[in-house]
């Protein structure tokens, strides 16, 4: 490991202090010692400055990977938790961006997310579709009816999820206790990535309704929300009933595994679309991944974490 930044700072301070020492007039003894020399008399101080400066410079170069989490400047010289990951996003695999600087503000507004980080989920690429008959087959019409995109980021404290939903009619019925029957987004997390058939304490199905209300079910049974989980939604432009959401789930709710780059978690996401004004009646469901497609008796993420795709904690 390269030398800690505090040490580098001390070297630099020493170098500056030494460089700033006043030059003492040469003593008679020193003058005598150098008398008759034909070469340049190099003072000891200049040599020391050169050595110290070289060490400080080399130290600074060798610490390019020293970062504190979330900080752009080296602070304590520890390993960089946002070191680049060799994993790349692909079908069923999403690389979560490492938070650099401040974590996203959970206010439902996604101006603190990079547009490039979002993965599209629409009728054309959804692995799991319900309500197929009510799609028209015309991409523009179907995407305006129900589509979206999502992104995931992380820091040492939490996993952050952002979703953009495009919708044409708000189907929201606050008295409905089954949130997935209204306009909602379902986020599925398998903290230890164990892909168990049943949900364990590190596994979550979080259902966020378009009014910002959130419900958790585990093995299809409502349970208390994970402690510290925060969600916010906002109305988005782009459609009459389009909306965005932001979610932060503390890693404390995602099992005991250490939080570090390269960690894999099970992850999935569904968009529920209810276009009924009077009663809850889900019209469409779009799911990112469903590895249990065709299985029985319940081939869906809400039955088994084995159906999930995965998210990998990535680097900067
Ligand atoms: Ca935000
Ligand atoms: Ca719709
Ligand atoms: Ca699990
Ligand atoms: Ca709707």
- The protein residues having their C-beta less than 5 angstroms from ligand 2 (an ion) are 145-146, 167-168, 273, 275
Ligand nearest to the CA of 145: 2
Which residue carries 């949130």 as its tokens?
Answer: 179
Q: Give the Å distance between the CA of 268 and the centre of ligand 3.
A: 13
Residue 51 corresponds to which tokens in the numbers above? 């050595």
* 213 CA distance to ligand 2 middle (Å): 19
Q: Which of 128-137, 168-177, 285-294 has the highest mean pLDDT?
A: 168-177
Ligand sitting nearest the alpha carbon of 193: 3
- The average pLDDT across 26-33 equals 39
pLDDT at 49: 56
* Beta-bridge mates of residue 166: 147
Rounded to whole angstroms, how far apart are CA atoms 316 and 311?
15
Measured torsion, CA atoms of residues 308, 164, 183, 99, in degrees rounded to the nearest 10: 60
| Cα 115 to ligand 1 centroid, rounded to whole Å | 13
Instruction: Give distance in angstroms: CA of 284 to centre of ligand 2.
Output: 8
| Ligand nearest to the CA of residue 112, numbered in listed order | 1
CA of 140 from ligand 4 middle (Å) equals 16
Cα 2 to ligand 4 centroid, rounded to whole Å: 54
* For residue 248, pLDDT beyond 90: yes
Residues pairing with 151 in the sheet: 162
The stretch 2-26 carries a mean pLDDT of 41
| pLDDT tens track for 32-43 | 333 333 334 355
Q: Kindly give the distance from the C-alpha atom of residue 190 to the centroid of ligand 2, in angstroms, as a whole number.
A: 29
Above 90 in pLDDT, residue 169? yes
pTM confidence score: 0.77
In this model, does residue 283 exceed pLDDT 80? yes
Q: Using 50, 70 and 90 to split pLDDT, how confident is the model at 47?
A: low
Contact by Cβ (8 Å): 315, 85: yes
pLDDT band at 22 (very low <50, low <70, confident <90, very high): very low
**Residues 69-100 pLDDT 10s:** 555 444 555 566 677 667 788 889 999 998 87
pLDDT of 175 > 60? The answer is yes
Residue 106 CA to ligand 3 centre (angstroms): 25
> Which ligand has the shortest distance to the CA of 202?
3
φ, ψ of residue 178 in degrees (nearest 5): -95, 95
Query: Does residue 259 have a pLDDT over 50?
Result: yes
CA of 229 to the centre of ligand 2 (A): 27
| Tokens of residue 44, six digits | 């000891």
Q: Omega into 233 within 30° of 0, i.e. cis? A: no
Q: Give 133 or 79, the one with higher predicted confidence.
A: 133
The domain 93-313 is placed in CATH, from the list 3.50.50.60, 3.40.50.300, 1.10.579.10, 2.60.40.1190, at 2.60.40.1190
Query: Which ligand has the nearest atom to the CA of 277?
Result: 4
The lowest-confidence range among 12-21, 44-53, 211-220, 287-296 is: 12-21
**Residue 265 or 5, more confident:** 265
CA of 169 to the centre of ligand 4 (A): 4
Tell me: the pLDDT tens digits for 190-241? 999 999 988 999 999 999 999 999 999 988 889 999 999 999 999 887 668 9
> What residue has token string 């780059």?
261
**Who contacts 96 (Cβ-Cβ below 8 Å, separation ≥6)?**
152, 153, 154, 159, 311, 312, 313, 314
> Residue 172 Cα, ligand 4 centroid: separation in angstroms?
8
Specify the 3-state DSSP secondary structure of 139: helix
Give residue 247 CA to ligand 1 midpoint distance, Å: 9
Tokens of 8: 């580098």
pLDDT, residue 146, reads 97
Q: How far is the CA of 202 from the centre of ligand 3 (A)?
A: 5
């Amino acid at each position: 490991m390269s030398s800690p930044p505090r040490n580098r700072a001390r070297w630099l301070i020493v170098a500056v202090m030494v460089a700033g020492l006043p030059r003492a007039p040469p003593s008679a003894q020193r003058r005598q010692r150098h008398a008759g020399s034909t070469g340049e008399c190099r003072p000891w101080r200049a040599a020391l400055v050169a050595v110290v400066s070289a060490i400080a410079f080399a130290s600074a170069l060798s610490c390019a990977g020293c970062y504190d989490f979330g900080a752009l400047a080296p602070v304590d010289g520890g390993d960089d938790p946002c070191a680049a990951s060799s994993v790349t996003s692909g079908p069923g695999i999403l690389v979560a961006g490492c938070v650099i600087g401040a974590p996203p503000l959970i206010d439902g507004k996604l101006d603190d997310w990079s547009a490039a980080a979002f993965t599209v989920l629409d009728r054309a690429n959804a692995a799991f579709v319900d309500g197929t008959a009510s799609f028209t087959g015309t991409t523009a019409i179907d995407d305006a009816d129900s589509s979206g995109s999502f992104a995931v980021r992380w820091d040492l404290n939490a996993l952050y999820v952002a979703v953009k939903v495009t919708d044409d009619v708000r189907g929201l019925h606050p008295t409905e206790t089954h949130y997935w029957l209204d306009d909602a987004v379902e986020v599925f997390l398998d903290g230890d990535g164990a892909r168990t058939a049943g949900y364990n304490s590190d596994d979550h199905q979080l259902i966020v309704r378009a009014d910002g209300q959130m419900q958790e079910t585990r093995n299809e049974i409502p349970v208390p929300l994970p402690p510290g989980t925060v969600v916010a939604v906002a109305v988005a432009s782009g459609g009459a009933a389009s909306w965005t959401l932001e979610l932060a789930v503390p890693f404390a709710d995602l099992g005991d595994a250490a939080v570090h780059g390269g960690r894999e978690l099970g992850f999935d996401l569904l968009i529920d679309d209810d276009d009924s004004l009077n009663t809850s009646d889900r019209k469409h469901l779009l799911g990112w991944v469903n590895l249990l497609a065709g299985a029985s008796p319940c081939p869906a993420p809400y039955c088994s974490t084995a159906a999930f795709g995965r998210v990998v904690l990535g680097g900067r």
